[in-house]
Each structure stands twice: as structure tokens, then as C-alpha cells.
Amino acid sequence: MVSNGFGNGFSKPEKKYWIIELMQTSMRIEFLNSKCIYFTLCLITLLCEVTFSQSADAGRDKVNCDGKGVTIGGEGEPDWCYSWKPEEGLDDPNILNPKANPTSKTTYTLTVTGPDFSFKSTDDVEVDVLELQDAEYKQNNESLYGKKQTGSACIGKPYQFRVNTEPAGGSPALSWEIKAVDTNREIDKGTGSSFTHTFSTELDKGVTQVRFYCDADDNSEFDSDESNVTVEFEIRDVTVHTITVARAATVSISPTNVAAILNEGSLLVNTRQLKEDCRCCTSFVFGGLSTFTPSATMPDVIKDEQDYNNVIQNVHATVRVVNTINWCGKQPIVAGFVALGCAGVGARNSVVVAQGAGGMAWAHELGHTYGLQHNLDSRNNVMFEEVGPGTLVNVRECLSFERK
């Protein structure tokens, strides 16, 4: 913001003159010896020249967010004349502080003229244009997606938040705040177009909002007139399921293998890969690996109902790993199908999986033990009857996975 008066980079000063006069005064003082002394104060006229700097003040640069408009201009005097160029986007180009609502980034020039053309000065201000589109939040290993609707987040998990803007990249004028909806209690706040927050205390639980907004006043305080986008979700505790595993004697699987499979299954249910997905506050944790005993009489292939009952009733573990499953519950596996797992609906600790089954199959079978039936809405569902690209879990299914 550079002032320019008469082309020399400075404004012409306005001069005001003050005249101060002291009256001439004579004083006569007589002493006892009859001698007199005269004191004379002479008339003093002082001509004082006081200079006031006169310059245009277009104010600081602003950001016009979502067409709300911003007030531009700084300080001035009521007897000065003001003119803004260009006039497009201004509600009044002939006042000190008009409202600017341009549709693209614009530099406005303010020209100030003093009374009786005593001075003339110019200054510029830049008004950028920003459109808030949507906000995103994610966990590690999770795909990004735009959000304006209700979701969920889990205590103790770090979430990355980001607002999408047009043009892309945000602006220093962007601020954000996290508040509890029910009490309006502030959890966190800051500036910038992205940040990371971990919900880690009991106070963070409940329905919460993360709101990004254009801070037109640069005061880091949300104003109801300011444009904003909001992510609203419920903060919930994480349910940890400790999974113990037993294997048939001929099955080759290590504790490291099991931990990796459980981690894969956890990610399927506690991250959101698609907009329609639900994030479950659930985690599967490895609780130990054992071998079927007595190994000589325990089957490594489930070929009939007797084998199935033998493994379920006599092996004490959450998940049992065998080589092959040809029978599940009270019925054989249909010819031509390969069974990766079997579990009773609502029957805890009744999972049998085949060697080579991954986190998808383990999460699916564990879901059965938490009371879930097959979900035939889409092949993308974790609880679809066949193992596929399943990543989706709906709200009802999440509640079952989160049940202790």
C-alpha cells in the first residue's frame, strides 16, 4: 500500500498556521532609596507552522469468501473526497469504506483529494476471492473424501482435516475450530487450511463439529456471517477385541502372520474407504497363538459335522485355523465353492478359518459372532456372502462390531 502524491511518492502536506500573541506590559517598582527599576515585556508574535501528513489509506488486503463481500479501506477525514477504481463489485465507489464483492481477484485503487484540492494521494488494496467447497478428514491408510455430513471418529486416533477451496490451496484467512455441539465447548482451534487432531480425552466424547471458516476480520473468532464448511460427527470409545488363535498341527502360521491378518481386518472396519462407508471404533488385537491338542485326534480338515463340532467344542480360542473347510455348521460346503471361513451368528468364539484366509475373511467371520447376518446389498460389503473387494460397513454393523 504505497501512497503517491503529485507523482513523487509522497503526499502534499496540508499546512495550518497558529498565531500566538503576548501583550506588552510595563511594570514600575520603587524602592526606599527612591530609585526605580522598569521591567518591560515586549509584544511577541509567534508564527507556528504545523504540518499534517495527508495520505490515502486503502486498508489491508482482504479475502472475499463465497460472495459474502468484505469491507475495504482504512482511516480518513470526513471532509476529504474519496474515489475507488475499478467500480465493479463495490456498493459505493465514493466513500472511504465500501463493501467489495468481486468475482475474481481484484486490486482496488483509492484516490483521496483534500479540501480545495490541497492534496491528492492514492493507495491500493487487493481483494482475493475464495470459495469454500468441502472439508475432508481421514486416518492413516484411508482414502480422502469430501465431507459435509455426519460421520464418526474414535478416541485415541489421529485424524487429518483439510478444507478444499477454489482456487485450490486455501488462504491465510482460513481458520478452524473444533467444538462440542451440545455444550459449545471449544476443544481446539487454529488457522490454516489443514491440521491434525487426536481425540484423546473423555471430554472429547459426544457429537462434535470441526468448522472451517473464512476469517475476514483476521481475529481467529468465528462470526455467524462468515462463510464456513463443517464436518459433524460423533466421538466414540474404541472397542478392543482380544483375539486368541489356535491352529491345527499341520497348519503353518506364526504370531507375526496372525497379528498382520488382525491388523488388516481392523483397518477394514475402522477406516472409511468410501463416502457411504461407516467408520467403526473397533480394533482386533492379537491375544496369543496355540496348537490344537491332542494334535493326533484333532482334525486339520473339516469334512463333516462331527469334525466341525469337535473343533468348536474342544478347542478353546476365538479363531481356529485349519487347512480346509468342507463343512460349516450343519451343512456341507456347496461343490465348487471354496470356504475361507465359518462361524455361528451370535455365537462368540465359534470361528473356523482356512489357512491362507486374509483379514477380510477373518473380519467377516468375527462379524457373524457379533450377531451379523450376510449383507447382500453390495459386493463391496464386508458382510457380503462371498469374499470380494469388501470394505463397506454400515451403521448397524458398526454398532455390532463395537459391542463388547
Count CA atoms closer than 13 A to 180's CA, side-chain side: 13
For residue 322, pLDDT beyond 90? yes
Direct distance between the N- and C-terminal alpha carbons of the chain, in angstroms, rounded to an integer: 63
pLDDT band of residue 19 (cuts 50, 70, 90) is very low
Instruction: Return all residues near 56 (Cβ < 8 A) that are at least 6 apart.
Output: 3, 11, 76, 110, 111, 112, 121, 122, 123
Give the domain extent around 384. Answer: 239-401
For residue 118, pLDDT beyond 50? yes
For residue 340, pLDDT beyond 90? yes
Residue 369 CA to residue 341 CA, distance in Å, equals 12
Determine contact, residues 232/181, Cβ cutoff 8 Å.
Answer: yes
Each residue's pLDDT tens digit, 168-196: 876 667 889 999 988 888 999 988 888 99
In a domain, 33, yes or no: no
Read off the C-alpha cell for 257. Answer: 502372520
CA 167 remoteness from chain centre? 18
Q: Strand, helix or coil at 165?
A: strand
In a domain, 288, yes or no: yes
For residue 17, pLDDT beyond 50? no
Average pLDDT over the chain reads 83
Read off the C-alpha cell for 204. Answer: 472429547
pLDDT band of residue 285 (cuts 50, 70, 90) is very high
Picking from 205, 236, 267, the residue at the C-terminal end of a domain is 236
Same domain, 243 and 232: no
In a domain, 252, yes or no: yes
In a domain, 223, yes or no: yes
Picking from 178, 203, 236, the residue at the C-terminal end of a domain is 236
Mean pLDDT in residue range 295-300: 85
Number of structural domains the chain divides into: 2
Same domain, 227 and 334: no
Task: Give the number of other CB atoms < 10 A from CB of residue 329.
Answer: 16
pLDDT score at 149: 61
Same domain, 230 and 255: no
Mean pLDDT in residue range 241-268: 96
Strand partners for 44: 22
Residue 284 CA to residue 275 CA, distance in Å, equals 23
Question: What does the buried/exposed string (b/e) look like for 220-240 if buried means 16 or more CB atoms within 10 Å of the residue's CB?
Answer: eebeeebbbbbbebebbeebe
Q: Strand, helix or coil at 312?
A: helix
In a domain, 35, yes or no: no
Count CA atoms closer than 13 A to 112's CA, side-chain side: 30
Same domain, 271 and 215: no
Each residue's pLDDT tens digit, 58-79: 999 888 888 888 899 999 999 9
Count CA atoms closer than 13 A to 175's CA, side-chain side: 18
Q: Read off the CATH number of the domain in which 172 is found.
A: 2.60.40.10
**Phi, psi values for residue 312, rounded to 5°:** -65, -45
| Burial class of residue 181 in the structure, from the number of CB atoms within 10 Å of its CB (0-12 exposed, 13-18 middle, 19+ buried) | middle
Same domain, 332 and 307: yes
Same domain, 248 and 307: yes
Residue closest to 401 by CA, chosen among 169, 241, 162, 191: 241
For residue 57, pLDDT beyond 80? yes
Same domain, 375 and 283: yes
Same domain, 352 and 395: yes
Read off the C-alpha cell for 233. Answer: 460427527
Same domain, 268 and 363: yes
Picking from 196, 213, 236, the residue at the C-terminal end of a domain is 236
Q: Read off the CATH number of the domain in which 320 is found.
A: 3.40.390.10
Each residue's pLDDT tens digit, 201-247: 888 888 898 888 886 655 556 666 677 888 888 888 999 999 999 99
Residue 219 CA to residue 228 CA, distance in Å, equals 15
**Phi, psi values for residue 350, rounded to 5°:** -120, 25
Each residue's pLDDT tens digit, 122-139: 999 999 898 888 888 887
pLDDT score at 20: 39
